Structure 1
């Protein structure tokens, strides 16, 4: 079986990437270990073309066109040419992409096309209360029409997406994103008193601003508390930095306690477990998620986790048993949940143990990679 994954975010040393890139890397390497041939095709982070073999995964990074107004055409042409060339040498069974990824892909006979629902333009436009961009909306609808099947990473993303887009009576299966529980494994004794950790893209929809606003309330009861923020910056349409906006507008309001809040930037995926190991509480107050890998990863390490009560939050955490859910729009509620964890250390530790058990049952990499392979086989046979 030969699977071709389309993404521009496959991790590359020295360049930040998001949860999608981490997921694709985890899945791709696990598929290879299970005897599946995997190729990844996407646009490069740098202005050149590269082909790499990484842990058995063949990664094609294409030179990105920046020709204003026509970049989409030239980039799609390159991707289509690479798929066609690769298919001639090593016949491809499945081409998989996120929601918009098939819009300009030329379908080839005997290749099956799959969209994995990570949360597309329609999904997040509604969640973030912004209008549908006509160009992106067109691409997403066109992409859905070309897909032969869909994989939803959470029940919420499946149900919420289908309020805006039709699956056109094509097969839809629900498979969680797997967690590498060999990487995200409990590490005892490394916690730093009062350390609160956030990991993820530093942007509005991840609830970072509300988390910062909650910090003074936490400091009143726990003066030694620190807030460590890890993740890549997000840029506004004009190119300005969201992180810098927070530093300019939110940090001055904190006064002297601003010295205990640190923006640590993006770190390699493999270093995240050591960051979580130092945390007394891991907090992810996202306004919206399709699944949110960061919370399950921290839970796999048996950490005390505060997650959003929106979207798939209740799918991931049983509130009060495997972690706590917060209203991500309320700094007061975020603070209250973190304070509870810091005040009730023994109960929080037990939640972490229960969380670890739950993740092993639902997100184990070896189990879920076999579910993916079984679904691929069904689509190929059909």
Structure 2
């Protein structure tokens, strides 16, 4: 079996960008290679074109191109031509691509195309109740409807995507993203910085970060030594047009709370893991997600999590067992759940152990990879 992944991001030093989408692909790719599957990763929109092989993976970086007009069409056709050439040369069996931006709209391939619902603009606009550009919906719907197979990381994301794009829900296979559990070991789970609350993710409205100042203020009334650390890239804000969501967030933090809040920006992944390990608890008040890699990474490191209670999150953790699920807009309840964890090391430890067990049972990449392989086989044989 030879699988190719078409993606705008991947966790590699030569690749321009990497976030949750790239991390989930990277975990799967590494696991496929360990299972003896041939893998090609095709990354578009890069600063320059390059081909190289590393750790058994063949990489094709496709440089970005400028066009006088119609880039949305001509660059896609350029990618199609490139992919079809290497599909033939490398004898690739299946091509997988994300739903985001509908990159495969207008493309035709020699082999089956699988779309994985990482989270389309259509999906996020629906969850945020935000108006979507008609062009973006058109691209994504065309790309989805031309595929021969579909994978979603949660049943919630699959069902909603099916409804939005007009495809039959039974055509979508739910396969969770997987983790390399040996990379998320915590040998000293009872050693942490008391009161340290950690948020990891883009500083953007849809992730619920603008709810955190009010929640954190209520937490500090009962736990005055609590500290909040935010990690991730800053983003512009669609609702206000402001260039920095972090600046908006700062305006909501009270002067008394500000010394207890730190924004670290985007930092190396090894440092992110260090902060997870140091955390008393992790908080993810997101309004729009398909799964949430940092949630299961935190759980794998035995951290209690206070998470959004939206549909996808209910498939990740058990409320009151491995953490708490709360409506991010309910500041009082969110704060009370965090206070409960901060006030009881016994509770924090118990939830951390339960969180690790749940990740082992549901998100072990060594199990997840075989589900993916079985699905690819069905697509190839059809």
Q: TM-score, normalised by structure 1?
A: 0.93
Structure 1 counterpart of 2:225? 224
How far apart, in 2, do the equivalents of 1:154 and 1:27 lie? Answer: 16
Counterparts of 1:16 and 1:144 in 2: how far apart (Å)?
A: 24
1:342 CA displacement: 0.5
Q: CA deviation at 1:8?
A: 0.8
* 1:160 and 2:160 matched: yes
Alpha carbons 1:65, 1:74 under 8 Å: kept: no
Equivalent residue, structure 1, for 2:206:
205
Partner of 1:39 in structure 2? 40
- Using the alignment, how far apart are the partners of 2:8 and 2:233 within structure 1? 16
Per-residue deviation, 1:182: 1.1
Alignment-derived partner of residue 93 in structure 2: 93
Rate the CA distance shift 1:269–1:22 in 2: closer, same or farther, 3 A. farther
What corresponds to 1:362 in structure 2? Answer: 362
Q: How many residues align?
A: 376
Distance 2:282 2:299 in 1: 9
Aligned residue number for residue 192 of structure 2: 191
User: Which residue in 1 is equivalent to 2:133?
Assistant: 133
Alignment of 1:298-313 (within 5 A): 298-313=298-313
Is 1:122–1:132's contact at 8 Å kept on the other side of the alignment? yes
1:22-61 to structure 2, matched below 5 A, reads 22-46=23-47, 48-61=48-61
Gaps of 5+ in 2: none
Q: Which whole-Å CA distance do the structure 2 matches of 1:159 and 1:86 have between them? A: 33
For residue 331 of structure 2, what is the aligned residue in structure 1? 331
Check whether the contact 2:112–2:148 (CA below 8 A) recurs between aligned residues: yes
Cα distance change, pair 335–92 in 1 and its aligned pair in 2 (3 A): same
Q: Distance in 2 between matches of 1:341 and 1:186?
A: 19
Query: Secondary structure, in 3 states, of the residue corresponding to 2:60?
Result: strand
How much does 1:325 deviate? 0.8
* Structure 2: distance between partners of 1:232 and 1:54: 28
Report the Cα distance in structure 1 between the residues aligned to 2:172 and 2:28, rounded to whole angstroms: 19
Instruction: Show the counterpart of 1:250.
Output: 252
What RMSD over aligned residues (CA atoms) do the two structures have, in Å? 1.9
Q: Which residue is equivalent to 1:124?
A: 124
Counterparts of 1:94 and 1:78 in 2: how far apart (Å)?
19
In structure 1, C-alpha distance between the alignment counterparts of 2:205 and 2:319, rounded to whole Å: 24
1:241 aligned to which of 233, 239, 244: 244
> More displaced, 85-94 or 161-170?
161-170
Residues 158, 169 of structure 2: 8 Å contact kept? no
Cα offset, 1:354, TM superposition = 1.1
CA 1:71 to 1:242, structure 2 compared with 1: closer, same or farther past 3 Å?
A: farther
More displaced 10-residue stretch of structure 1: 169-178 or 227-236: 169-178
- Structure 1's 60 and 311: CA in aligned 2 closer, same or farther, altered over 3 A? same
Give the whole-Å Cα distance in 2 for the aligned partners of 1:166 and 1:346: 48
TM normalised by structure 2 equals: 0.93
Please state how far the C-alpha of 1:288 moved relative to its aligned partner.
2.1
Contact 2:3–2:96 (Cα < 8 Å) also in 1: yes
Deviations 1:36-77 (A, max 9, x none): 11111122443x223333432222222213446522223213
Note if contact 1:232-1:265 (Cα within 8 Å) is conserved in structure 2: yes
Structure 1 residues 175 and 212: CA distance shift in structure 2, 3 A:
same
Once the two structures are superposed, residues 332-353 of structure 1 have per-residue CA deviations (whole angstroms, 9 ceiling, x without a partner) of 2221211111112202211111
- Structure 1: give runs of 5+ residues left out of the alignment: none
Whole-Å Cα distance in 2 between the matches of residues 246 and 347 of structure 1? 30
Contact persistence 1:27–1:369 (CA under 8 A): yes
Q: Given that residues 211 and 334 in structure 1 are in contact (C-alpha distance below 8 angstroms), is that contact kept between their aligned partners in structure 2? A: no
